[in-house]
Chain A
Amino acid sequence: MSVLQRQKKKKSILPGFGLSLGFTMFYASILVLFPLSMIFLNTASMGWSEFIKTVTDPRVVASYKLSFGAAFAAGIINVIFGTIIAWVLVRYHFPGKRFIDGLVDLPFALPTAVAGIALTTLYVPKGWLGQLFTFKIAFTPIGIIIALTFIGLPFVVRMVQPVLQNFNAEIEEASASLGARRMQTFRKVIFPELVPAVLTGFSLSFARALGEYGSVVFIAGNMPMKTEITPLIIMTKLEQYDYAGATAIASVMLVVSFFLLLLINIIQWWTNRKFVHS
């Protein structure tokens, strides 16, 4: 993805360096860099003790725990089922496979609010799926995990799928011909190759889930201390015109996002180094 292989190139003879550099920097700075720096500027003007008080408020801390916990759980579910789905789509043949393959991207294409109300309707106590359970799903952390699983599913499938597709069958054959049983081949030969893709898929779906708002607000129930995710706290503070409070919490989320982005890049860099020798 973002870590491009550094290649030593001769000076390019192609035109447009100055123009494209100027335009790209201008556009990205005006729309991304400058607006995002406002978060840190405003937080800096807030005063340290006030900042700490806001971001360690018990209600806010409860929301961190919920957001992290639910995003982590959803990421793990997606790693398990996303890998199985990728495996089945690449290795097995069954009717309607192409259709199902195309369907995997639905969470990317469907507006989050639409997904949110659909999942809520399914999992409320009287809904099609909700009535099958003796405990509540919608308006509990389980509901949040379900929404986040929906949102993150394509990330893992789409990361693992190409690795399986490009996997060298001869290595598997070699492993088998040396006497490995199928499970051994999977554990010792195939699985290690999948690890970077699985990790990247997990981090991407985790990062997305942390900030997710649209699909979660409907199913979460939004009870303070219980089912209130961090983005919702920011939203609530904004509605109360508490801009300073909203900004302080946003700065904490931003730092976490930067860290995750760095982590994803490190995994990618590590993968490229490991597998691509020029």
Chain B
Amino acid sequence: MAGHVPMQRAKTTVKLNHSSLKEPKVVQWLLTFIALAFLALFLVLPLITIFMTAFQKGLETYLTAITNPDALAAIKLTLIVVLITVPLNAVFGVVAAWLITKFDFKGKNILITLIDLPFAVSPVIAGLVFILLFGAQGLFGEWLFNHDIKIVFAIPGIILATLFVTLPFVAKELIPLMQAQGSAEEEASLTLGASGFKTFFLVTLPNIKWGLLYGIILCNARAIGEFGAVSVVSGHIRGMTNTMPLHIEILYNEYQFAAAFAVASLMSILAIFTLIIKNIIEWKSKHI
């Protein structure tokens, strides 16, 4: 860890007993076995279950399930929500990280806590707050009704709830990264006469691109999969306000297990892709 004064390797002739530096082989074996068994039980087995159940009634049922009009509508809505929320929160993340890491101001820690909050709040509450604002009895309920604008139990509500839940992802990735990088390069660029925007796009952005992508990937995964918050504000109108996770819930509660797991398998493939991209980014950012 930082702060530990590196000790000089003493040139002693004391031969360290190997067993006092490493666990006995039996212990190593046992620990590895426990770790792998736990991961197999909790992560691998559920994944296998998803695909097995999805195909248990054959390929035809699978294809019918994922090409069903309601399923397609759910996929489309999920795409719309992701395409709106992820870019917005990515821009917010970059701006907030710039503000927090490049400037000193009063109340910075409060602002950081505010950005953290959505992670600590239950998704159900994240949905509830927008009902309190825009629902029929909500703060703006009457005004919205008079102007014939629907926010909750409609797509805007789903977007707002998803924005809330995924707000911290990009900022949380970028703040420690930009903090560690410091501002020297930007200062040099400005001193040499580059404009602020030029400095940002030619100096800062290339430095943070992997961290930014990493945050976007995580934000994207959560936006696709958010269930609790969206469930509260969606109104569950089939073919209209059902995202993919909500569609899965409906199918599951109707005992259409094969169909539910067929849609779930699509989302699992997306999740696996997310993990692969995430690992590539981690590898790249370590090796470049």
- Which residues of chain A have a CB within 8 Å of any CB of chain B? 1-4, 9, 12-17, 20-21, 23-25, 27-28, 31-36, 38-39, 42, 81, 84-85, 87-89, 92, 94, 98, 100, 102-115, 117-119, 121-122, 128-129, 146, 149-150, 153, 163, 166-168, 170-174, 176-177, 179-182, 185, 193, 207-208, 210-214, 218, 230-232, 234-235, 238, 243, 246-247, 250, 253-254, 257-258, 260-261, 265, 275-277
CB-CB under 8 A from B257, the residues of chain A are 121
**Complex Cα gap A237–B254 (Å):** 23
Pick the residue among B17, B122, B225 that contacts A111 (CB under 8 A): B225
Q: In the complex, identify which listed stretch (B39-47, B65-73, B142-150, B205-213) lies at the interface while the others stay far away.
A: B39-47
A57 CB, nearest partner CB in chain B, Å: 18
B116 CB, nearest partner CB in chain A, Å: 5
CB-CB under 8 A from A105, the residues of chain B are 275, 278
Pick the residue among B103, B164, B268 that contacts A32 (CB under 8 A): B164
**Complex Cα gap A23–B252 (Å):** 42
**Complex Cα gap A129–B279 (Å):** 30
Are B6 and A170 in contact, with the CB atoms below 8 A?
yes
Are B34 and A81 in contact, with the CB atoms below 8 A?
yes
10 further contact pairs, Cβ within 8 A, besides A109-B278, A171-B7, A177-B14:
A4-B100, A21-B103, A24-B96, A38-B139, A39-B125, A85-B35, A129-B45, A166-B1, A182-B21, A185-B20
B276 on the interface (CB 8 Å rule)?
Answer: yes
- Given known pairs A39-B132, A117-B252, A234-B125, the reply for A27 and B92 (CB within 8 Å) is yes
A98 CB, nearest partner CB in chain B, Å: 8
B11 on the interface (CB 8 Å rule)?
Answer: no
**Complex Cα gap A122–B155 (Å):** 34
B284 on the interface (CB 8 Å rule)?
Answer: no
What's the interface size class on B, roughly?
35 or more
- Given known pairs A84-B34, A213-B124, the reply for A106 and B271 (CB within 8 Å) is yes
**Residue on A with the closest CB to B189?**
A14
**Complex Cα gap A150–B47 (Å):** 12
B231 on the interface (CB 8 Å rule)?
Answer: yes
CB-CB under 8 A from B112, the residues of chain A are 2-4
CB-CB under 8 A from B124, the residues of chain A are 211, 213, 231-232, 234-235, 250
11 A-B contact pairs sorted by A residue (CB < 8 Å): A3-B109, A12-B103, A28-B92, A84-B31, A129-B41, A166-B1, A168-B4, A171-B7, A179-B20, A238-B232, A257-B122
Are B9 and A110 in contact, with the CB atoms below 8 A?
no
**Complex Cα gap A193–B116 (Å):** 26
Interface residues of B in 162-202 (CB under 8 A from A): 163-164, 167, 172, 175-176, 179, 183, 186-187, 190-191, 196, 199-200
Are B96 and A28 in contact, with the CB atoms below 8 A?
yes
B223 CB, nearest partner CB in chain A, Å: 10
Pick the residue among A36, A88, A232 that contacts B35 (CB under 8 A): A88
Are A14 and B225 in contact, with the CB atoms below 8 A?
no
Which 10 residue pairs across A and B have the least CB separation, nearest first? A111-B225, A211-B122, A214-B227, A213-B228, A15-B196, A35-B129, A20-B99, A118-B46, A109-B271, A176-B20
CB-CB under 8 A from A109, the residues of chain B are 221, 225, 271-272, 274-275, 278
B59 on the interface (CB 8 Å rule)?
Answer: no
A232 CB, nearest partner CB in chain B, Å: 8
A148 CB, nearest partner CB in chain B, Å: 11
CB-CB under 8 A from B22, the residues of chain A are 182
Pick the residue among B95, B183, B228 that contacts A24 (CB under 8 A): B95
Interface residues of B in 240-260 (CB under 8 A from A): 244-246, 248-249, 252, 257, 260
**Residue on A with the closest CB to B53?**
A121
Are A16 and B123 in contact, with the CB atoms below 8 A?
no
Pick the residue among B4, B231, B276 that contacts A171 (CB under 8 A): B4
A221 CB, nearest partner CB in chain B, Å: 13
